[in-house]
Structure 1
Amino acid sequence: MLRKKLFLLLLIPITAFSLWSFSHDDRYFAIAKNIDIFSSLYSEVNTYYVDDINPNTLIKTSIDAMLNKLDPYTVYIPEDDIEDFRTNATGEYGGIGILSNRINNRHLVLNMYEESPAKTAGLKIGDEIVNIDGKSVKGMSDEEIGKLIKGQSGTTLSIGVERNGTHPYTFKVERKNITIPNIAYKTILNENVGYFRLSEFTRNASEDVQAAVQELKKQGAQYLIFDLRGNPGGLLNEAVEICNLFVPKGSGIVETRGKTQAQSLSYVAKNDPLDLDIPMAVLIDHGSASASEIVSGVIQDYDRGVIIGQKSFGKGLVQVTRPLSYNSQLKVTTAKYYIPSGRCIQELDYQHKDAEGKALVFADSVKEAFFTANNRVVYDGGGVDPDIKVSLEKLSSYTENLIGGGLVFDYATKYYYSHEKIAEPTDFKLSDEEYNHFAKWVATQKFENPSNIEKSIALLSEAANEDQVYAQLNHEITRINHEIHRLKSNGMVNFKKEIKRRLELEIIRRYYLNKGVLEATLSSDSDVVTAILTVKDSNKYKSILHK
């Protein structure tokens, strides 16, 4: 009886909506009709399906499948996930300030923030989390463990860990409001080049950028490097305010164009700028998205600085959140971004998908040319193209498997507990003897190291065995496999330079956290080196911006 009443309650507003919309527009009638069918279907499944069903799971699955037909940014946020959503939007959460994840079925502390509650309580990078408040985390997903760790600020949790193969430790940690810093790092390079990295566009990001630039200039910065690599974006208003720091008051920053007038807006620089003259390079890569692309695109469109690195992600879509019943929300794409030259940086066409349901990339033939303030040609439909492209270092599959298999991480932990201290991040280097110790240790570990070529050879061998015509190829396949194993057996020697560097950085992280890793890498970072050479060469800098 209760189920029938629920179904009738669902049906009454749908029927009323259907009667109104049929006379108004066939499109709305089609929506009402299909919602009616869905309600009827769900009622029948709930009544007659052989096993009990979970209404929340079934409905969320259907909602997610429906929204998946649109774009990956239009999502349903149930009440249980609202806190995580707010964390992403504000950069604040009630927690203990660690980054943890699963490696080889162990849930490990991979990183932590400076002065975090976890660090204060005594937790360390490399600790394996085994229980939270006495509850074993074995078999839990990363998301489930994250929800157990996060909670109301001021509350305490007990976290049990295993450390470097010794007996378990238990720590009492008080949750606090953790604010993820917008400015991950800032420093002076090469005597007078100010460098700062913006990791997020959360609340107060523009104020943090302004403060960073002012501080760097007081320290003698005559040039700026603005690092947006890996920055996924965030709040639009913060992106607008950051652009305003470097372009004249009244300059157009970005337009949003949507289906309704309310979603079609123009944003301009409302304040006096901080600096219109300091030579500036903006670093981007494929992880620079959304708000990062607005900032880098605006700087490029006004020829205010040189963009260096790799093509950005290509997310030119605007989302807003809409409240739903029962404290849930809908994050829905409502418009597209257009930067000052008039171009949209959206790369994927979600209206047109291939047979596998993947969005298509806009073809070069349909991309349109636009022009910067100095009449340089730029194109839409594919993110922000850097003015100077820098090739990314490509790691060998051998090194990637060492990292992915947790061997570099685990050995860094062992090293930390056998060395009380190390040199400063910019000076620390492993000796050849220490590297050889690592190589010998790797040889004692179970190390799954399948390369792409090995996987392809395995498929070829399987296909040859299934067809007598090609069975004679097995001899040649065996010879190739022997050659592959010969090459792999020398992996620790052949790829020593890149393996050694990754191990050094992981060790540095144990002592100096992310700040130390950044200090250690900037001097050899190809994007940063290119940026320094570009901004300090006045002729080169000007020639790029006036092509």
Structure 2
Amino acid sequence: MPVTASKHFLVWLLLAAFLALPVQAQAKTSADELPIEDIQTFAEVFERIKRAYVEDVDDSTLLRNAMRGMLGELDPHSAYLGQEEFDSLRESTEGQFGGIGIEVGMEDGQLTVISPIDDTPAARAGLQSRDIILRVDGTSTDSLSLQEAVTLMRGEPGTKVDITILRNGESAPRTITLTREIIRTESVKSELLEPRYGYLRVSQFQNRTGDQVREAIARLERDAPLNGLVLDLRNNPGGVLQAAVAVADAFLDSGLIVYTEGRLPDSDMRFSASRDTAAPEVPMVVLINGGSASAAEIVAGALQDQRRAVVMGTDSFGKGSVQQVMPLGNGDGLKLTTALYYTPNGRSIQAQGIEPDVEVVRGRLEVAENSNIQLRESDLEGHLQGNGEERQRREGNARLSEDYQLGEALNLLKALNVLGQRATPAG
């Protein structure tokens, strides 16, 4: 087929696709009519690439690239997913995939770390939220789409990948070599920080996270009711919307959790709490930081607006958009932003994030040099061991000194309990 014939054929092909749309989709105002001149320009660009590009490119590749570009220019989270990318996205929501354990996104056109996943190569290597990824195995990320970069970082367990990052406040990039693993993400962990003070860590929101949170609360309260609970959502990149609703519902017995608004009627959704509550009266502190995104911000925003918990830490990431993943007839997929999240009080999360009630920056608690420290029996060499509860308390205190934000959360819970006891009449 001659070049001009190919060009005209493509124009008519696009017009035919438009005419095949349902009548309702065509019933638009004149401002929304299909731009024939732009379609002709598209066909002209297509033709010139076919004729003059240094290498031969088949029509299928060009059209897929056009679709990737069309979606990639909308926002950082919309994307055309090849079959391999589509499968890997489904794997990540199910909780197992091969890679380095990192959630990334595009920010100001740069591949940026949203957060590392707990107990993965990325977390152990010290990658942090807001690190900019400049290269993956020597390939510049400037020319890569988000999905292409994710595909490069994933791979067979045991293989190595070099990640070159630039961290805020540092003048020179650094290259970190990571060994890929099977990433099996247990989204919920729990423990007692001290007797009757529980700690609940949610690293991301997967299909069963809501059930796992309820099971963890039951374990924490097995011996005695809790006096306080820390819900740790730091460096939680988000995940499944329904899982976020289920986690918030575990602590709320009524009221709105989150609502979404979009252009299509089915994009407007409202989620409210049920009366079935796992921990209705336990004082709570929710920890967030710049790596808390999306579903994590939904939970923090709901508990904050309903005055169910004190939110502590630093401002969250600010990803307040809803993506729908749609399978296509050829086995590929489409990830499209269709709505925005709003907290119960009507605050948009998008590009705003959740501001903590109590700001506590990341730090480490250390005893000042030459401070007046008194010697205790437990510091003497060869001292007799006390009961297990005391040893656990001292080990817990050592951990809290390593995590300043967590220590402050526990202190706040203790203060709330003291105030609550004083406000309760004797007898």
Q: The TM-score by the shorter chain falls in which range?
A: 0.5 to 0.7
Equivalent position amino acid for 2:206 in 1: T
In structure 2, relative to structure 1, the CA distance for the partners of 1:541 and 1:36 (3 Å cut) is farther
One of 241, 244, 261 as aligned partner of 2:249: 244
Distance 1:286 1:273 in 2: 29
Distance 2:191 2:348 in 1: 33
Contact 1:253-1:269 at 8 Å conserved across structures: yes
Instruction: Tell me which residue corresponds to 1:385.
Output: 355
Instruction: Tell me which residue corresponds to 1:478.
Output: none
In structure 2, relative to structure 1, the CA distance for the partners of 1:287 and 1:57 (3 Å cut) is farther
Give the secondary structure class of the aligned counterpart of 1:319: strand
Instruction: Tell me which residue corresponds to 2:105.
Output: none
Contact 1:18-1:32 at 8 Å conserved across structures: no
Give the secondary structure class of the aligned counterpart of 1:149: coil
Q: Where do residues 148-187 of structure 1 align in structure 2 (5 Å cutoff)? A: 148-149=155-156, 179-183=184-188, 185-187=189-191
Distance 1:4 1:325 in 2: 30
Instruction: Tell me which residue corresponds to 2:237.
Output: 232
CA deviation string 1:178-234 (max 9, x = no partner): 641111x32111222111210010110101111111111114432111000000111
Instruction: Tell me which residue corresponds to 1:208.
Output: 212
Distance 1:144 1:387 in 2: 38
In structure 2, relative to structure 1, the CA distance for the partners of 1:46 and 1:111 (3 Å cut) is same
Shift of the alpha carbon at 1:240?
Answer: 0.8
Give the secondary structure class of the aligned counterpart of 1:272: coil
Residue 45 (str. 1) matches residue 49 (str. 2): yes
CA deviation string 1:236-256 (max 9, x = no partner): 11111111111114x211111
In structure 2, relative to structure 1, the CA distance for the partners of 1:68 and 1:148 (3 Å cut) is closer
Q: Where do residues 293-332 of structure 1 align in structure 2 (5 Å cutoff)? A: 293-332=297-336
The size of the alignment, in residue pairs, is 335
Shift of the alpha carbon at 1:44?
Answer: 3.3
Instruction: Tell me which residue corresponds to 2:112.
Output: none
Distance 1:303 1:533 in 2: 19
Distance 2:319 2:195 in 1: 36
Give the secondary structure class of the aligned counterpart of 2:402: coil
In structure 2, relative to structure 1, the CA distance for the partners of 1:81 and 1:298 (3 Å cut) is same
Instruction: Pick the structure with more helix per residue.
Output: 1
Contact 2:100-2:153 at 8 Å conserved across structures: no
Give the secondary structure class of the aligned counterpart of 2:239: coil
Distance 2:159 2:248 in 1: 43
Q: Where do residues 130-145 of structure 1 align in structure 2 (5 Å cutoff)? A: none
Shift of the alpha carbon at 1:317?
Answer: 1.2
Give the secondary structure class of the aligned counterpart of 1:346: coil
Give the secondary structure class of the aligned counterpart of 2:201: strand
Q: Where do residues 10-89 of structure 1 align in structure 2 (5 Å cutoff)? A: 10-16=10-16, 24-31=28-35, 33-53=37-57, 58-89=62-93
Distance 2:6 2:220 in 1: 63
Q: Where do residues 475-490 of structure 1 align in structure 2 (5 Å cutoff)? A: none
Distance 2:247 2:212 in 1: 9
Instruction: Tell me which residue corresponds to 1:378.
Output: none
In structure 2, relative to structure 1, the CA distance for the partners of 1:247 and 1:139 (3 Å cut) is closer
Distance 2:95 2:282 in 1: 30
Q: Where do residues 353-372 of structure 1 align in structure 2 (5 Å cutoff)? A: none
Distance 1:22 1:111 in 2: 45
Equivalent position amino acid for 2:15 in 1: T
Report percent identity of matched pairs.
32
Residue ranges of structure 2 left out of the alignment (5+ in a row)? 103-115, 126-135, 141-148, 162-179, 365-395, 421-427
Shift of the alpha carbon at 1:51?
Answer: 2.8
One of 215, 218, 222 as aligned partner of 1:218: 222
Q: Which entry has the higher C-alpha Rg, 1 or 2?
A: 1
In structure 2, relative to structure 1, the CA distance for the partners of 1:237 and 1:31 (3 Å cut) is farther
In structure 2, relative to structure 1, the CA distance for the partners of 1:52 and 1:29 (3 Å cut) is same
Instruction: Tell me which residue corresponds to 1:525.
Output: 403
Give the secondary structure class of the aligned counterpart of 1:283: strand
In structure 2, relative to structure 1, the CA distance for the partners of 1:70 and 1:529 (3 Å cut) is same
One of 276, 281, 289 as aligned partner of 1:277: 281
Distance 2:318 2:191 in 1: 29
One of 95, 102, 123 as aligned partner of 1:91: 95
In structure 2, relative to structure 1, the CA distance for the partners of 1:310 and 1:29 (3 Å cut) is same
TM-score, structure 2 length as denominator? 0.67
TM-score, structure 1 length as denominator? 0.53
Give the secondary structure class of the aligned counterpart of 1:248: coil
Distance 2:273 2:409 in 1: 26
Contact 1:253-1:340 at 8 Å conserved across structures: yes
Distance 2:86 2:397 in 1: 36
Shift of the alpha carbon at 1:138?
Answer: 8.2
Residue 267 (str. 1) matches residue 274 (str. 2): no
Contact 1:18-1:29 at 8 Å conserved across structures: no
Distance 1:207 1:23 in 2: 45
Distance 1:54 1:392 in 2: 52
CA deviation string 1:51-108 (max 9, x = no partner): 3236566555544444343221112212231122112332233x4x8659xxxxxxxx
Contact 2:117-2:235 at 8 Å conserved across structures: no
Distance 2:76 2:28 in 1: 31
Task: Name the stretch that deviates more: 75-84 or 221-230.
Answer: 75-84
RMSD value over aligned CA atoms?
4.0
Distance 2:398 2:5 in 1: 66
Residue 535 (str. 1) matches residue 413 (str. 2): yes
Residue 254 (str. 1) matches residue 224 (str. 2): no
Shift of the alpha carbon at 1:335?
Answer: 1.1
Contact 2:287-2:312 at 8 Å conserved across structures: yes
Distance 1:88 1:31 in 2: 39
Contact 1:18-1:33 at 8 Å conserved across structures: no
